[in-house]
Amino acid sequence: MPLLLRDLIEEAVVAQPDMHLLASVSDPKALVAATAESRPDFVLLGVSAADADGFPPECLRLLDENPRTKALGIEAVDGRAYLYELRPERTEIGEVAPEDVVRAIREAAARPRVA
């Protein structure tokens, strides 16, 4: 995702008293490793175009290896955000704005986790 957008989203998340930024990485391999190590509730990532089922390969790998993690993908092509969960389900967030990302995280956190 564009660096400026990433910085804005990170600032919005860090500003929330009930959210913690565990890591910030720019390499997909580092993301997979950091996710496996820290076991976060959410991963925010820039994603490529979705496949025929609506899931980008990056999200499928993360969800497959970390079924309790939810992935919030920002598609650089259309500037929209989507929430990916193992259910599997893809929920359009809409235009990307830091406050929308924080809202999406809160709404997804309120839903029951996958067993």
pLDDT value at 16 more than 90: yes
Question: Smallest Cα–Cα separation from 90: which of 76, 71, 105?
Answer: 71
The whole-number average pLDDT for the span 72-95 is 70
pLDDT value at 24 more than 60: yes
The whole-number average pLDDT for the span 8-26 is 90
Mind listing the pLDDT tens digit for each residue in 88-108?
A: 566 777 777 888 888 888 887
What confidence score (pLDDT) does residue 49 get?
A: 63
Question: Smallest Cα–Cα separation from 82: which of 64, 61, 108, 62?
Answer: 108
* Model pTM score: 0.63
Mind listing the pLDDT tens digit for each residue in 29-46?
A: 788 888 889 989 888 887
* pLDDT above 70 as % of the chain: 79
In sequence order, the 6+-apart residues with CB closer than 8 A to the CB of 114 are 67, 68, 85, 86, 87
